[in-house]
């Protein structure tokens, strides 16, 4: 079944690095064992799982509509089947049934349908109203910008010194509404973390707003939901909901600039400035590139390459040297490095905590 030598073969490499289970952090597995067991196998399943007030009413709406409409479907199909198989009196074969009659079916059927549809309409409008805006003022505003094929995330703050930028991983305080401003840097993407909220397109030239709130600490998987080109399938993100204290700690860490260069990784630093700094930024250094993800605290992230690989030193080097193999068409080139260059670069990157 797995076949074809031709073309992009991501299988063997990615297979080894298989996706880490993304929905809930290990700590949460202990806290909520039964739910975790379900969700682990389907991290984007929004039909059976929701963890925030922007998603839960919608999930219940989905249940209601599915149950109601399935029941109606079964009843109507049952009517159809009975209509087909029911016994008829053997009639004169030459005669044709009367044209009149049967309108009662149309009146009753359409009447009931209209009644149900009207009820559903009122209900979904109520749900729409409930999830359109958070009940309290959001505590945090983030600007999420979609790029081919990764996410840039800016944490706003009244004090410019406290703003910072990160990529592909959104941290939020648990139990609090967070406002997202959604933008695109190139083509149309869509922000979708199904168990927290429905999707919203990110359209160039527009700033769309949405809000999310996670009621339970954990790691929530998200994925770009608008076809955006070759690596559309590999444009994932994670939302990490944590306690206020952990979140503050994380923010403080993110606000710091990168560690200063020490003697033993100076070679790797120079290499980074030469080869990577044009596209990537590391705060506190000369690297100020804006074409790729901000790498200031790269090692604090769970995954690299917009969710494609777990963030281990090996994967990182593999990604750097074979980016086009993993994500053909991405702006990140595959960078040829000699062994000594690779180890120097790896040594420098390991300081980006």
CB of 137 to other proteins, least distance (A): 18
Residue 186 CA, chain-centre distance (Å), reads: 18
> Can you tell me which of 45, 324, 350, 351 binds other proteins, judged by CB under 8 A?
45
**Residue 192 near residue 224, CB atoms below 8 Å:** yes
Q: For residues 96 and 161, which CB has a smaller minimum distance to other proteins in the complex?
A: 96
Q: What span, in angstroms and rounded, lies between the C-alpha atoms of 296 and 275?
A: 16
According to the binding rule CB under 8 A, does residue 204 interact with other proteins? yes
According to the binding rule CB under 8 A, does residue 102 interact with other proteins? yes
CB of 197 to other proteins, least distance (A): 8
CA separation (Å) from 200 to 208, 209, 320? 8, 8, 31
Q: Which helix (H) or strand (E) holds 241?
A: strand 236-242
> Can you tell me which of 36, 153, 197, 335 binds other proteins, judged by CB under 8 A?
197
According to the binding rule CB under 8 A, does residue 182 interact with other proteins? yes
According to the binding rule CB under 8 A, does residue 83 interact with other proteins? yes
Three-state DSSP class for 125? Answer: helix
Region 119-178 residues binding other proteins, contact defined as CB under 8 A: 120-121, 124-125, 127-129, 131-132, 148
Region 19-38 residues binding other proteins, contact defined as CB under 8 A: 19, 21
Region 2-21 residues binding other proteins, contact defined as CB under 8 A: 2-4, 6-11, 14-15, 18-19, 21
According to the binding rule CB under 8 A, does residue 41 interact with other proteins? yes
> Can you tell me which of 28, 144, 214, 225 binds other proteins, judged by CB under 8 A?
225
**Residue 202 near residue 183, CB atoms below 8 Å:** yes
According to the binding rule CB under 8 A, does residue 232 interact with other proteins? yes
Q: For residues 160 and 205, which CB has a smaller minimum distance to other proteins in the complex?
A: 205
Bridge partners, residue 153, by sequence: 144, 166
- DSSP assignment of 164-176 equals EEEESEEEEETTS
Q: What span, in angstroms and rounded, lies between the C-alpha atoms of 150 and 292?
A: 8
Q: Which stretch binds other proteins (CB under 8 A): 138-146, 179-187, 276-284, 291-299?
A: 179-187
Q: Which stretch binds other proteins (CB under 8 A): 61-69, 151-159, 163-171, 284-292?
A: 61-69
**Residue 75 near residue 112, CB atoms below 8 Å:** no
Q: What angle do CA 351, 217, 253 make, to 5 degrees?
A: 25
> Can you tell me which of 187, 261, 342, 346 binds other proteins, judged by CB under 8 A?
187
According to the binding rule CB under 8 A, does residue 227 interact with other proteins? yes
> Can you tell me which of 79, 253, 290, 336 binds other proteins, judged by CB under 8 A?
79
CA separation (Å) from 43 to 34, 38, 310, 348? 14, 9, 16, 34
Q: What six digits make up the tokens of 226?
A: 């608008």
Q: For residues 48 and 336, which CB has a smaller minimum distance to other proteins in the complex?
A: 48
Q: What span, in angstroms and rounded, lies between the C-alpha atoms of 199 and 299?
A: 28
Q: What span, in angstroms and rounded, lies between the C-alpha atoms of 205 and 105?
A: 51
> Can you tell me which of 27, 31, 163, 209 binds other proteins, judged by CB under 8 A?
209
Q: For residues 30 and 80, which CB has a smaller minimum distance to other proteins in the complex?
A: 80
Residue the block writes with tokens 């945090």:
140
């Amino acid at each position: 079944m797995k076949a074809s030598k031709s073309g992009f073969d991501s299988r063997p490499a990615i297979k080894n690095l298989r996706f880490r289970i993304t929905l809930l952090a290990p700590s949460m597995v202990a806290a909520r064992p039964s739910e975790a067991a379900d969700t682990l196998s389907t991290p984007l399943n929004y039909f059976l799982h929701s963890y925030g007030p922007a998603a839960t009413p919608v999930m219940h709406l989905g249940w209601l509509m599915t149950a109601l409409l399935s029941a109606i479907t079964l009843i109507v199909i049952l009517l159809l089947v009975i209509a087909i198989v029911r016994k008829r009196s053997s009639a004169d074969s030459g005669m044709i049934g009367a044209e009149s009659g049967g309108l009662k079916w149309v009146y009753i059927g359409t009447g009931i349908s209209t009644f149900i549809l009207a009820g559903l309409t009122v209900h979904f409008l109520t749900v729409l109203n409930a999830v359109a805006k958070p009940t309290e003022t959001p505590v945090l505003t983030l600007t999420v910008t979609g790029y081919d094929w990764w996410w840039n995330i800016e944490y706003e703050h009244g004090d410019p010194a406290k703003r910072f930028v990160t990529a592909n991983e959104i941290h939020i305080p648990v139990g609090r509404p967070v406002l997202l401003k959604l933008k695109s840097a190139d083509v149309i993407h869509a922000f979708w973390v199904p168990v927290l909220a429905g999707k919203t397109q990110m359209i160039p030239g527009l700033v769309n707003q949405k809000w999310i709130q996670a009621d339970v600490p954990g790691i929530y998987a998200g994925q770009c939901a608008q076809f955006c080109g070759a690596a559309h399938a590999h444009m994932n993100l994670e939302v990490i909901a944590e306690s206020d204290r952990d979140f503050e700690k994380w923010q403080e860490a993110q606000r710091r600039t990168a560690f200063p260069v020490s003697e033993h990784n100076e070679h790797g630093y120079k290499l980074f400035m030469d080869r990577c700094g044009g596209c990537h930024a590391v705060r506190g250094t000369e690297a100020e590139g804006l074409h790729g993800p901000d790498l200031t605290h790269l090692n604090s992230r769970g995954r690299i390459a917009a969710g494609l690989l777990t963030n281990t030193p090996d994967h990182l080097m593999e990604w750097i040297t074979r980016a086009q193999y993993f994500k053909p068409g991405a702006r990140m080139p595959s960078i040829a490095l000699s062994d000594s260059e690779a180890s120097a670069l790896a040594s420098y990157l390991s300081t980006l905590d």
